[in-house]
Amino acid sequence: MQLKPLFTFLTGLTKHNDRAWFQERKPTYDQLRKQFEEDAEFWYQELQKLDPALAGPLGRKSIFRIYRDVRFSNNKDPYKLHFSAYFTASGKDIETPGYYVQVGPGGHTLIGGGWYMPDKNQLAAIRQEIDYNAAELKAILAAPDFQRYFGAMGGDKLKKSPAAYDVSHPEIELLKHKSFTASHTLSDAEVLSHADFRAYVPEVFAAMVPFCQFLRSAVEV
């Protein structure tokens, strides 16, 4: 993926987020999309080596469309301002833990993943696993590579303790989570300074593999 041309295109789209501007530059978009598909294939193949559960669709099927769904949004801009992909064991199904990459100008590049808003039963299973096995999760979060790239686990949290757990529970702050995510954000300068950004993405993903495996195992037992 050629990052400078991608950033140039998306910067222009930021200023002219309309169909006429986009259609005039559709051949440029198609070329950039093709390059991103090739990178997604590479990232998927590398992830399969790191996390064997990812034996699902090909990487290009994990790419999100650039077209926004504006039906229920006050923002009627038709296009997203980044390219992105989400890799899971079942394509880009957001209802399972996975690995996310987003590339765009204006500080919108990030490499991350985990599990955003699992459903009620999945959330109960994850909390139960934390209750029984918090030491494993805390060791994952404290690992040097996880700390290096992500610092801490993110995700929305309850303000109060979950109904099934007392406020005095020693792991109550972990149990308050409704989402379990980690994110490594890069400035435009950091992205463009990478000699091989394509290789950097799976390097960051590798630090997240135990985290995703912990979340996945919690709902598979």
Cβ neighbours for 162, distance < 8 A, ≥ 6 positions apart: 127, 175, 176
Closest residue by Cα to residue 214 from 51, 49, 46: 51
Closest residue by Cα to residue 75 from 144, 19, 117, 17: 17
Q: Can you name the CATH fold of 3-220?
A: BirA Bifunctional Protein; domain 2 (3.30.930)
Amino acid letter, residue 149 = Y
Cα–Cα distance for residue pair 177/175, rounded to 1 Å: 5
Q: What is the residue-averaged pLDDT of the chain? A: 93
pLDDT at 1 (0 to 100): 81
pLDDT at 159 over 70: yes
pLDDT band at 58 (very low <50, low <70, confident <90, very high): low
pTM of the model: 0.94
pLDDT band at 94 (very low <50, low <70, confident <90, very high): low
pLDDT at 59 (0 to 100): 73
